[in-house]
C-alpha cells in the first residue's frame, strides 16, 4: 500500500476514534444511516418497493416523503452533533431534539410493520432493528441532556 493510503487510513481511524470517545458514535452512525438510505432511495427509488420498506409505504409513508424524512433527519442530526460541541448552551438541546426525532422516526417505521407480522416473517427482523434503534435514540437523548455542558 502507498504511504498516502496508509496516512489516509490513519486519519480516518483518528476521526472514528475521536467520535467514539466523544460518546456520540451511535448518533453519527444513525445520521450516516439516514443519509445512506436517502442516497439509495434517490438512486433506486424502486428499492423501497422491493424490500421490507414496502410495508411501511403501504402503511402511508409514501416513498418521496420517506426519502425526504431520511434526508432531513440525517442532515439535522449531523448539524446538531457539530453544534453540540461548538454552540453552547444550545448545541446539547439540538442534539437531544435530533435523538428524539430519530426515536420518533424509528418507532413510526417499526409501528407500521406490526400489522404485517402475522403474514410476513421477514419484517420481524426489521422490527427488531427499529426497536433497538429507538432504544438507542432514547438513550442518546437522555445522555445529551444529562451530561450536556449546558447545565453550568
Q: What is the pLDDT of residues 24-49, one digit of tens each?
A: 788 888 999 999 989 999 998 888 77
Of 96, 71, 69, 67, residue with least CA distance to 81: 96
Phi-psi region of 62 (alpha: psi -120 to 50; beta: other; left: phi over 0): beta
Q: What pLDDT does residue 127 have? A: 85
CA 124 to each of CA 89, 111, 114, 129, 136: distance values in angstroms, whole numbers, following the listed order: 40, 11, 8, 9, 18
What is the separation of C-alpha 82 from the centre of its chain, rounded to a whole number of angstroms?
Answer: 15
Q: Where are the domains of the chain?
A: 3-151
Cell of 18: 475521536
Q: What pLDDT does residue 134 have? A: 93
What's the whole-model pTM score? 0.71
Amino acid at each position: 500500500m502507498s504511504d498516502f493510503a496508509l496516512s489516509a487510513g490513519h486519519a480516518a481511524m483518528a476521526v472514528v476514534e475521536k467520535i467514539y470517545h466523544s460518546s456520540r458514535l451511535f448518533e453519527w452512525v444513525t445520521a450516516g444511516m439516514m443519509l445512506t438510505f436517502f442516497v439509495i432511495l434517490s438512486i433506486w427509488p424502486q428499492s423501497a418497493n422491493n424490500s421490507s420498506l414496502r410495508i411501511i409505504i403501504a402503511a402511508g409513508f409514501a416513498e418521496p416523503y420517506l426519502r425526504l424524512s431520511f434526508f432531513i433527519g440525517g442532515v439535522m442530526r449531523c448539524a446538531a452533533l457539530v453544534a453540540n460541541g461548538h454552540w453552547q448552551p444550545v448545541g446539547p438541546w439540538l442534539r437531544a431534539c435530533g435523538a428524539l426525532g430519530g426515536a420518533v422516526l424509528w418507532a413510526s417505521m417499526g409501528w407500521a410493520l406490526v400489522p404485517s407480522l402475522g403474514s410476513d416473517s421477514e419484517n420481524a427482523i426489521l422490527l427488531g432493528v427499529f426497536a433497538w434503534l429507538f432504544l438507542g435514540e432514547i438513550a442518546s437523548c437522555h445522555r445529551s441532556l444529562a451530561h450536556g455542558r449546558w447545565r453550568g
